[in-house]
Amino acid sequence: MKKALCVLAFFWLLSPYTAHAQTPGSWGNWYIGTVSLPGSVEKKWGAYVEVQARSNGLFKQYFYNELKGGLSYDLDKNFTLLLGGGRYSTFDEPGPVALEKRLWQQLVLSQYMSRLKIEHRYRVEQRWFSYPGPGDSTAFRQRLRYRLNAFVPLNHQTVTDHTVFLSVYDEIFLNPRGPVLERNRVYAGLGYQFNKHLSMQLGWVRQANYSQPRLKQGQLVPLGTSSKNNVVLNLMYRLSHRNTTPRPETLPSQQD
């Protein structure tokens, strides 16, 4: 339990890093629905599909959605590879203002230390943007992401049926072309594993975006930061392979 408290304290110390640029009263919502098929002991292939919607205000001002999925392969119980892709749309009146198509390659390393569970996620993304309307334009970017996620079940030693658990993570987004640190995302949530199929998380995420330093009228404008708080509701339904042995424990990780 001491290890769990140390990790939670580490994430708590990270949160002020993104707090300084917060706009007072700036809250939004993220709604996430996921269907996943984890690998089993005999069948190492898995998959998932996910839909996500976001709003700029609490339960209002819907402006963004995601539709994505991927195929995974378990190298062993601790290492999983994944190839994913998705479509990301940003809206404003009277219609879409940006469309992104994305492909990514991912490695997840999971560590099971008694009650504390740690997940390291490494991702490389290729991103294609299009901006409809007058002066239509397109762009291509790449991005690197690393997420450190910790889980602590509260009423059981493992995340199993009828388990209440804490989940916290910090994720950094790196842009090879600069600014190197493009985004930072801090999350804390409370979850409940109903049974081997269904789990739910309710949490808070603060996302900070960083703009590149630039020259404006002969003066250097330093690195800019904008951040926003969001309430996150995540529902996950987990399928299972037939006539196979399920893994002893599968972490209820958010795919995004």
Greater model confidence, 195 or 26: 195
Domain-embedded: residue 111: yes
Question: Could you read off the pLDDT of 57-116 as tens digits, one per residue?
Answer: 988 889 999 999 999 999 998 999 999 999 999 988 666 788 999 999 999 999 999 899
Q: What is the identity of the amino acid at 114?
A: S
Measured CA angle at 201 (ends 88, 52), to 5 deg:
15
Domain membership of residue 131 as a residue range: 2-238
Contact 194, 161 (CB under 8 A): yes
**Average pLDDT value for residue range 126-152:** 89
Question: Which tokens hold the place of 150?
Answer: 């910790």
Task: Please check whether residue 249 lies inside any domain of the structure.
Answer: no
The lowest-confidence range among 10-14, 19-23, 120-124, 203-207 is: 19-23
Residue 243 lies in a domain: no
- Residue at 253 is within a domain: no
Q: What pLDDT was estimated at residue 225?
A: 74
Most confident of 58-62, 160-164, 174-178, 208-212: 160-164
What pLDDT is attached to residue 72? 97
The H or E element that residue 232 is part of is: strand 224-238
Is 251 part of any domain? no
Q: What is the pLDDT of residue 11?
A: 47
Block residue for tokens 């994305």: 102
The residue type found at 53 is A
Residue 94's pLDDT is: 66
**Can you say how many angstroms the Cα of residue 5 is from the centroid of all Cα atoms in its chain?**
22
How crowded is residue 102: how many other Cβ atoms within 10 Å of its Cβ? 18
pTM of the predicted structure, to 2 decimals: 0.85
> For the chain, what's the residue count?
256
Cα dihedral sign, 149-150-154-157: positive
pLDDT band at residue 176 using 50, 70 and 90 as cut-offs: confident
pLDDT at 183 over 60: yes
- Provide the mean pLDDT of the chain: 86
Give me the number of domains the chain comprises.
1
Any domain includes 27: yes
**Omega within 30 of 0 (cis) for the link into 213:** no
Query: Is residue 37 assigned to a domain?
Result: yes
- The reported pLDDT for the residue numbered 14 is 46
User: 């007058």: which residue's tokens?
Assistant: 134
User: CATH number of the domain that 108 lies in?
Assistant: 2.40.160
Residue 214: the pLDDT is: 52
Question: Per the domain annotation, does 246 fall within a domain?
Answer: no
